Amino acid sequence: MATLSSLLEYYYETMQEALFPLEEERKRIVKKLQTVAFFMSIGAVVFFTVLHQHMHFAPLQAGLLSAMSGFLIFMFVYRHEKAGFTALFKDQVIEKLLYQIDASLSYRKESAIDEEAYRRSELFLEDYDRFEGSDLVSGSIAKIDVRFSFLHTQQKERDSKGRERWETIFQGLFFCADFNKAFKSKTVVLPDTAERTLGVLGTWFQRMNVARGSLMKLDHAEFEKIFVVYGDDPIESRYILSHSFMEKIVLLQRKINRPIYLSFVASRIYIAIAYTKSLFEPILTRSLLEFSYIKEYFQLLNTVVGIVEELKLNEKLWSKR
């Protein structure tokens, strides 16, 4: 993995100067949005007056229509400006940071992990109605083929009044990689929310999750507190999840400090790291000339690229059975 000191050197010697034009573009967009917000506020007041005094709308109706109209116009301008800036940001920041971490990796900002890989992982069994992704990174790390990207899957639901809403199934980073050795079974490792919340009753609910296969108890107390494991071959699952490998997963979870989902299917590992926001996108209110801001993206990329080393995926821990 790349070091923070190498990023610091690269940022101040090369990257910062190249970011000046992009920073000016950011300032232009922020100023434009402030101007739009100002005029939309005035426009909303005028629109309210017309609706209330001349068209005899009730104050509440006039206020809601005025506020909604101004908000929709502002959001249209915001999304248009943000989309263009985001594309430039990914080309000039994300791609260059990734190159510093590992020049052999490929980055495609408009591509993502495919739906087949998502389904094959069996990490999220819910049917989805919307599948979106971006920022696909692919290549070989320590002779292991890897791919990861941002993914967001959603399910359309309706409440008791028939109103439509979108519920997130998964949002975050989705990582998949090859193993050196083959295994035929399926093992799924999920965050153990049930037992932590409900105790013994939670364990009962875990056992009732028949779609996942058999619930397995392993010989790593801390791992058991964090994760719940299902598999269709207890012997092979325990062979995959050796004590040392479980320790590495625990350390990775501590480092990332996010919900982590893992599965081992057909000689591949799938890892999903949940986030509550889009990743690799710029924050318009923060200056690109702040090293601490750029460092956040570097650390995120470096952590994901470093999963191969963190989990020692290139070591021959699995043998053909």
For the chain, domain boundaries: 4-100, 110-279
Helix (H) or strand (E) holding 244: helix 243-256
DSSP-based three-state secondary structure for 320: coil
Q: For residue 243, give the H/E element and its range.
A: helix 243-256
Going from the C-alpha of 267 to that of each of 5, 167, 243, 302, 320, the distances in angstroms are: 36, 31, 19, 25, 10
User: What b/e string do you get for 161-200 counting C-beta neighbours within 10 Å, with b at 16 or more?
Assistant: eeeeeeeebbbbbbbbbbbeeebebbbbbbebebbeeeee
Evaluated on CA atoms 205, 206, 212, 214, the torsion sign reads: negative
Continuous segment of H or E residues that includes residue 223: helix 221-226
3-state SS, residue 113: coil
Q: Give this prediction's pTM.
A: 0.86
- Predicted local confidence at residue 115, as pLDDT: 97
Q: What is the pLDDT of residues 157-206, one digit of tens each?
A: 988 777 889 999 999 999 999 876 678 889 999 998 744 444 444 444 44
Q: What pLDDT, on a 0 to 100 scale, did the predictor assign at position 268?
A: 92
| CB within 8 Å of 206: residues ≥ 6 apart | 192, 194, 195, 215, 228
Q: What is the pLDDT along the chain (321 residues), one digit of tens a residue?
A: 678 899 999 999 999 999 999 999 999 999 999 999 999 999 988 888 888 787 878 888 888 988 999 999 999 999 999 999 999 999 999 999 999 999 999 999 999 999 999 999 999 999 999 999 999 999 999 888 999 999 999 999 988 777 889 999 999 999 999 876 678 889 999 998 744 444 444 444 444 455 677 888 888 889 999 999 999 888 888 888 989 999 999 999 999 999 999 999 988 999 999 998 889 999 999 999 999 999 999 999 999 999 998 888 877 654 444
Name every residue whose Cβ is closer than 8 Å to that of residue 255 and which is 6 or more positions away in sequence.
Answer: 303, 310
Characterize the bridge pairing of strands 106-108 and 164-178.
unpaired
